[in-house]
Structure 1
Amino acid sequence: MKEKTPQDSFTIMNELVLPNDTNPLHNLMGGRLLHLMDIAAAISAQKHCNRVVVTASVDNVSFQQPVKLGDVITIQAKVTRAFNTSMEVRLDVWAQNIPSGTNVKCNEAYYTFVALDENGHTIPVPEIVPQTDEEKELFNGALRRRQLRLILGGRMKPGEATELKALFTESNNN
């Protein structure tokens, strides 16, 4: 299976916030944004593995800035690390008010996807080779984020999370 880079999966999705997408305060509804983020992340994961993918998890999502009616949201997604059958996808969301010229980052998140074969069974995905310093940093942090997801999902015991232990254990070399 051929290795890929994060850039191979890079996806940009734009959407205009219309009245049907907003709450009574004329802000984009959070659920609508999560839906759009899921689509962008799935496209990115599919580009990485050339397979159908399903969402396995969504990390903590906090809404940093409201997105207003009439804003254009831009969602950027790319695979940060591939494990055996799963991929972590990083998303950055920007809200642009075109008439005023403002563009603010309103959200970021990590989604995890699993690749499936034609029978709906999980299958291996290509390895990823980070190229830039930022991609290497995201790649290195992905194992910690994965272990935290597995602990929170009840699929790993905290004592088994070697990467997380290292964060909280003082080195004896001081």
Structure 2
Amino acid sequence: MMSESNEKVQLPAKPSKDSRTLMTQLIFPLDTNHHDTMFGGKLMEYMDKVAAISAMRHARMRVVTASTDSLDFLAPIHVGEVIEVEAFVTWTRRSSMEIYVSVNSENLYTGSRKTTVTAFFTFVALDENGKPAEISKVFPESELERQLHASAPARHELRKARKSDRTSKA
């Protein structure tokens, strides 16, 4: 956006909490493999959807997944358990956003809860022509948001190095 004086208009920053998205699912036999634990690919689909909603809430425009990293499966999810998939924007650049996604499972009979998966997704906001579009900066408020925001530039550099390494080998 340009003003009449050709100065760039600064978009107002938004808090991480405004992008927070939560999805709850009960895990059925069709969601699981032959070990009666949830298919990793099915869980990744849920995570990508929740991350996309979080990114759209922040950008208020179309977004696409640019990368997924640090996808760590910490514990299995069993038939009959409930999962909560939560996401929020941790850090932004001009048109890209890093989204932290965590999955917690709960045994509804015992009340036992555990973190089962965590990951970082990167999304890019797109304008009406499908080109990267400028987005608002994000600012953290909670302790977790501050920790993830502070460590995001290092993850960004690792993503850049990984991408550069792959393109140089092509």
How much identity, in percent, do the aligned residues show? 37
For 1:53, the equivalent position in structure 2 comes to 63
Structure 2 counterpart of 1:44, which letter? S
2:156 aligned residue (131, 139, 146): 146
Structure 1 counterpart of 2:98, which letter? E
Following superposition of structure 1 onto structure 2, how do residues 65-104 of structure 1 map, counting pairs within 5 Å?
65-104=75-114
TM-score (norm 2): 0.88
Shift of 1:146: 0.6
Structure 1, residues 69-124: CA drift from partner, whole Å, max 9, x if none? 11111011100011111000001110111012111111111000000011111101
Following superposition of structure 1 onto structure 2, how do residues 20-169 of structure 1 map, counting pairs within 5 Å?
20-154=30-164
TM-score (norm 1): 0.86
Structure 1 segments (4+ residues) deviating >6 Å:
none
Unaligned 5+ residue runs, structure 2?
Answer: 1-10
After superposition, the CA RMSD in angstroms is 1.3
Task: Give the length in aligned residue pairs.
Answer: 156
Secondary structure of the corresponding residue to residue 137 of structure 2: coil
**Distance in 2 between the 1:118 and 1:19 partners?**
41
Unaligned 5+ residue runs, structure 1?
Answer: 157-174
